[in-house]
Chain A
Amino acid sequence: MYTVKCDVAVVGAGPAGLAAAVAARENGAASVLVIERDSAPGGILQQCIHPGFGLTRYGEELTGPEYYSRFTEKAAALGVEYLLDSMVLDVDADGGKVVCVNGKYGVTCVEAGSVVLAMGCRERTRENIVIPGTRPAGLYTAGSAQRLINRQNIMVGKKVVILGSGDIGMIMARRMTLEGAEVVMVVELMDYLAGLTRNRVQCLDDFGIPLRLGHTITRIEGDKRVTGVYVAPVDENKKPILEKEEYVPCDTVLFSVGLIPENELTRKASIAVDGRTNGPTVNQYMQTTKPAVFACGNVVHVNDLVDNVSAESEQAGKYAARYAAGKFPSVQGEAVCTAGANVRYVCPQKVALSDEADNVTLYFRVLAPQRDVTLRVRCGDTVLAQKKEFRVNPGEMNSIAVNTADVAGGEIVVEVV
């Protein structure tokens, strides 16, 4: 078996993996190897040719390829190495080994001082959400359609209904329109938007594409290619009101109904996975329950802004480098972050208490939209941080920073009141 050694091995060359690799080099790792199944780095950003990336981080609107180029250029300057066209099949979390396959080198074993998992996520499908009807051609997840159009120059259809108001769905509504397709409507089960408000404005409103909140697709029709769908409003229990069902002819249905972190490798490596985020349980160093394994980006929890992914991944890269060098903070205890009022989850799930006090950004999502609220972090009765927010939405991640010097241990509660 072909064997390579490095200080830090990164699984995935998407935005998370790239940021982690750069940070690992900048923080003392002599050799950083990024393992990527695609033929080029960039991950999903390669197909995100629309602008909107980097507003928080760089104060400018970049396209996906422009955004990741900033990292690949830095990585090249720092001597980050890649193992491309390589699919990881196994991670030995205790031994720091990553086994992958590659057409050139065969089965390859990467032996590393620490490993960063950055595999990203996959899309929920029509089948996952159990929409009855036939199984014709013309049903795509929004991301697959985006790949075909933006990377393979192939159009998937002419008359489109989109289920789900996730960001990719809305961006694809605009993209399909620009390519000459008719987007009949975007249908959303909830009575609020799943994605970012700015995408609703720029991708739907500006193109006159109707958004049907509180509706769902009840049935799919078509024997060979899809010929239409039935759309109905839903009641307060999200059950379709079938008397109000209407038939919408179309030849394509795109599904933008959620993302699922891809943690098959993580589970196989016996790393604890949080049932709420579907990602590994991590502390502020982005360290998983296996000390030599770190994780970052959408494999940990689904982000809506790549800027946040980069920030979080830099933490993972930095501490993975320190772990590999034997210079990891000495951890004396930990506090558990829990979701309080109107909070669905908090990431990181744990805050390690070490000899190095630092500012930790807690990312979280709310359960339901709410206006004029206070985001608060408390430890027992002590308020660690709070800030006011005009509105909060499940589709837009929130964050708040605390300093570990203020944390005594026990439980850290994040709440929206």
Chain B
Amino acid sequence: MRKTDVVVIGAGAVGCAVARELTKYKVNVLVIDKNEDVGGDASKSNSAIIHTGYDAAPETLESQLVVAANPMYDALTRDLDVPFKRIGAILPAITDEQFAQLPAIKEKAFRNRVYDVEYLSGAQLLEMEPNLNPAVKGGLYIPRESIIDPFIYVQALAENAYDNGAEFMLGTKVVGITTENGKVRSVQTTDGDVETKYVINCAGLYCDDIAAMVGKAEYEVVARKGQFYILDKNTSCQVRHIVLPIPTKITKGKLMCPTIHGNMLVGPTAEDQPSKTDKSTNAEGLESIARDVRNLVPNVNLRETITQYSGLRPNRKPEGLHFDMYDDLEGYVNLSGVRSTGLTLSVSMGKYVVQQMLYRGADFELKQDFIRKRKGIVKFCEQTPEKQDELIREDPRYGNIVCRCETVTEAEIVQAIRRPLGARSVDAVKRRVGAGMGRCHGGFCGPKVIEILSRELGVASEAICKNDPGSNMVTGKNRS
């Protein structure tokens, strides 16, 4: 039987951050995920914002972790070579009723120790954001709300954990957890059993299913669907900040912001649904985005869209972020209620989890040789012509631009496939280097990416999938 010290279930942002934190110690870590690629489910389809926690419920674990996490991102993204920008958020009040809510929102931010929230007048907001609804009466500016590349972020955590010795079992489902005398003993997977001392449940949407395997299903998780539009980089009406609506009693509402890639992101909806797998978009949801966001940015042009997607965020019932270890179940760590703030708090959660394990007597010994830094794939399109020239001389495949919309070269795609925990599918390539993420949406580069994947992985083109097994891109050869 395979043996390890800690099994982390889930290779999303939280799972990978926990795994990375553990690799700072002399312990064997194994990350297991049902998906073929690291990156999770909710972690890869959200608004990609690193929050400040200004609007969290004060004195909760969520507030504590989000507020603590935000300042960590400057150094973390530098160390891990992750695209990150502190662009700031604005919260414009359009109606008198909304205007009246501003002091309470600012006061809540204070209680969450987010002291840098400022009041701005309507004129000041319009100067910062000319495409805002001209009826804006005033609003709040939250300077440290930031945007990140959510794909690269999780890949970077995973790759850095890997560099520090963590192992990964991807495309592998946990089907059971065996306990013995009130202690975790082993984990059963679709790819064999693993003996372990600890199990950390970072399964997000499925954390209730995992908890049920050890009889700790004290809650359930309902999928909350969020649909989004991504607009073309050249769209006529853009914003420079994260433009947030003032929340109502019913919903937090729909926002508009730039993505780290330079597109505009508009959404999300919030629809609870029984299915944990249905990630379809629907006409009603997409229409509601159009309707709502026009209150904030009247001229937003949703016709200039390059894609729409939906993500499922785990909605815990009863609500709230929970960290649990149990006296009657030694070695089991349960995280639940990780929702839309999960991307932000992943880094502080990683530290929190390990600290709590240490408090409870885990005998983890610090390593002296933890590798702090990870280098990403050099993006050809962001280099100066001199540097581009140099790259092409080192590797002529930098001179072959495969994705013309996003200017992604063959060299980048090959690296995405060849590096540790590399891409095995068309979507995995897209999430690493952006090929197919542009306005033609893979129309031109799709056939070439299939060819490169097939060549690099040494498999037939009909074996190449869009993402998980069964999503084969093509069906075979032509008639002979």
Q: Which residue of B lies closest to A147 (CB)?
A: B447
Residues of B within 8 A of A85 (CB): 399-400
Residues of B within 8 A of A149 (CB): 478
Would you call A103 and B400 a contact (CB within 8 A)?
A: yes
Residues of A within 8 A of B442 (CB): 144
Q: Which of A89, A105, A132, A158 contacts B281 (CB 8 A)?
A: A132
One digit per residue, 1 when the CB lies within 8 angstroms of any chain A CB and 0 when it does not, for chain B 115-135 equals 000000000000000000000
Distance A140 CA – B472 CA, assembled complex (angstroms): 13
Would you call B444 and A122 a contact (CB within 8 A)?
A: yes
Q: How many residues of A contact B (CB 8 A)?
A: 53
Distance A1 CA – B279 CA, assembled complex (angstroms): 48
Q: Which of B388, B392, B397, B472 contacts A137 (CB 8 A)?
A: B472
Would you call B404 and A87 a contact (CB within 8 A)?
A: yes
Residues of A within 8 A of B440 (CB): 122-123, 125, 141
Would you call A154 and B279 a contact (CB within 8 A)?
A: no
Distance A149 CA – B398 CA, assembled complex (angstroms): 27
* A243 part of interface (Cβ distance < 8 Å): no
* B473 part of interface (Cβ distance < 8 Å): yes
Q: Which of B281, B392, B465 contacts A103 (CB 8 A)?
A: B392
Residues of B within 8 A of A277 (CB): none
Residues of B within 8 A of A223 (CB): 277, 470
One digit per residue, 1 when the CB lies within 8 angstroms of any chain B CB and 0 when it does not, for chain A 174-205 equals 00000110000000000000000000000000
Would you call A123 and B443 a contact (CB within 8 A)?
A: yes
One digit per residue, 1 when the CB lies within 8 angstroms of any chain A CB and 0 when it does not, for chain B 446-480 equals 11001100000000011001111111111111110
One digit per residue, 1 when the CB lies within 8 angstroms of any chain B CB and 0 when it does not, for chain A 77-88 equals 000000001010
* A104 part of interface (Cβ distance < 8 Å): yes
Residues of A within 8 A of B280 (CB): 132-134, 219-221
* B25 part of interface (Cβ distance < 8 Å): no
Of residues 97 through 126 on chain A, the ones whose CB sits less than 8 Å from some CB of chain B are 99, 101-107, 122-123, 125
- How far does the Cβ of B108 sit from chain A's closest Cβ, in whole Å? 36
Residues of A within 8 A of B105 (CB): none
Distance A156 CA – B469 CA, assembled complex (angstroms): 17
Residues of B within 8 A of A89 (CB): 407
Q: Which of A37, A152, A179 contacts B404 (CB 8 A)?
A: A37
Would you call A133 and B281 a contact (CB within 8 A)?
A: yes
Q: A101-B388, A101-B399 are in contact. Are A180 and B282 (CB under 8 A)?
A: no
Q: A125-B441, A137-B473, A156-B474 are in contact. Are A107 and B306 (CB under 8 A)?
A: no
Would you call A132 and B399 a contact (CB within 8 A)?
A: no
* A224 part of interface (Cβ distance < 8 Å): yes
- How far does the Cβ of B187 sit from chain A's closest Cβ, in whole Å? 26
* A157 part of interface (Cβ distance < 8 Å): yes
Q: Which residue of A lies closest to B302 (CB)?
A: A130
Would you call B477 and A155 a contact (CB within 8 A)?
A: yes
Would you call B305 and A107 a contact (CB within 8 A)?
A: no
- How far does the Cβ of A42 sit from chain B's closest Cβ, in whole Å? 15
Q: How many residues of B contact A (CB 8 A)?
A: 58
Would you call A137 and B471 a contact (CB within 8 A)?
A: yes
Q: A135-B309, A141-B443, A144-B447 are in contact. Are A106 and B479 (CB under 8 A)?
A: no
Q: A123-B443, A132-B280 are in contact. Are A179 and B308 (CB under 8 A)?
A: no
* A378 part of interface (Cβ distance < 8 Å): no
* B170 part of interface (Cβ distance < 8 Å): no
- How far does the Cβ of A319 sit from chain B's closest Cβ, in whole Å? 28
Would you call A101 and B309 a contact (CB within 8 A)?
A: no
Would you call A152 and B473 a contact (CB within 8 A)?
A: no
Among B279, B283, B447, the one with the most A-chain Cβ atoms within 10 Å of its Cβ is B447
* B385 part of interface (Cβ distance < 8 Å): yes
Distance A137 CA – B467 CA, assembled complex (angstroms): 8
Q: A85-B400, A132-B308, A136-B466 are in contact. Are A106 and B392 (CB under 8 A)?
A: yes
Residues of B within 8 A of A267 (CB): 234
Q: A143-B443, A144-B444 are in contact. Are A251 and B475 (CB under 8 A)?
A: yes
Q: A157-B475, A180-B479 are in contact. Are A224 and B307 (CB under 8 A)?
A: no
Distance A270 CA – B202 CA, assembled complex (angstroms): 50
Residues of B within 8 A of A136 (CB): 466, 471
Q: Which residue of A lies closest to B281 (CB)?
A: A132
Q: A85-B399, A125-B441, A251-B475 are in contact. Are A132 and B283 (CB under 8 A)?
A: yes
- How far does the Cβ of B47 sit from chain A's closest Cβ, in whole Å? 18
Distance A99 CA – B444 CA, assembled complex (angstroms): 21
One digit per residue, 1 when the CB lies within 8 angstroms of any chain B CB and 0 when it does not, for chain A 144-163 equals 10011101111111100000
Residues of A within 8 A of B306 (CB): 125, 127-128
Residues of A within 8 A of B450 (CB): 148, 154
Residues of B within 8 A of A1 (CB): 385-386, 389
* B262 part of interface (Cβ distance < 8 Å): no
Distance A308 CA – B392 CA, assembled complex (angstroms): 39
Distance A287 CA – B54 CA, assembled complex (angstroms): 55
- How far does the Cβ of B463 sit from chain A's closest Cβ, in whole Å? 12
* A225 part of interface (Cβ distance < 8 Å): yes
Distance A127 CA – B397 CA, assembled complex (angstroms): 30
Q: Which of A152, A221, A264 contacts B447 (CB 8 A)?
A: A152
One digit per residue, 1 when the CB lies within 8 angstroms of any chain B CB and 0 when it does not, for chain A 257-273 equals 00000001001000000
Residues of B within 8 A of A132 (CB): 280-283, 285-286, 308
Q: Which residue of A lies closest to B279 (CB)?
A: A134
Residues of B within 8 A of A153 (CB): 477-478
Q: A127-B306, A152-B447 are in contact. Are A107 and B478 (CB under 8 A)?
A: no
Residues of B within 8 A of A137 (CB): 465-467, 471-473
Of residues 306 through 324 on chain B, the ones whose CB sits less than 8 Å from some CB of chain A are 306-309
- How far does the Cβ of A414 sit from chain B's closest Cβ, in whole Å? 27
- How far does the Cβ of A255 sit from chain B's closest Cβ, in whole Å? 9
* A315 part of interface (Cβ distance < 8 Å): no
Residues of A within 8 A of B472 (CB): 137, 225
Residues of A within 8 A of B444 (CB): 122, 144
Among A103, A140, A141, A144, the one with the most B-chain Cβ atoms within 10 Å of its Cβ is A103
* A281 part of interface (Cβ distance < 8 Å): no
Q: Which of A106, A138, A143, A264 contacts B388 (CB 8 A)?
A: A106
Residues of B within 8 A of A46 (CB): none
Would you call A125 and B461 a contact (CB within 8 A)?
A: no
- Per CB-CB distance, the 8 closest pairs between chain A and chain B, nearest first, are A103-B399, A103-B396, A224-B470, A137-B466, A224-B471, A87-B401, A127-B307, A137-B471
Between A and B, 14 residue pairs with Cβ closer than 8 Å are: A101-B392, A102-B399, A106-B392, A127-B441, A130-B286, A132-B281, A134-B280, A136-B471, A151-B447, A154-B477, A156-B474, A158-B475, A220-B280, A264-B234
Which residues of A are interface residues toward B (Cβ below 8 A)? 1, 37, 85, 87, 89, 99, 101-107, 122-123, 125, 127-128, 130, 132-138, 140-141, 143-144, 147-149, 151-158, 179-180, 218-221, 223-225, 251, 264, 267
Which residues of B are interface residues toward A (Cβ below 8 A)? 234, 277-283, 285-286, 302, 305-309, 385-386, 388-389, 392-393, 396-401, 404-405, 407, 439-444, 446-447, 450-451, 461-462, 465-479
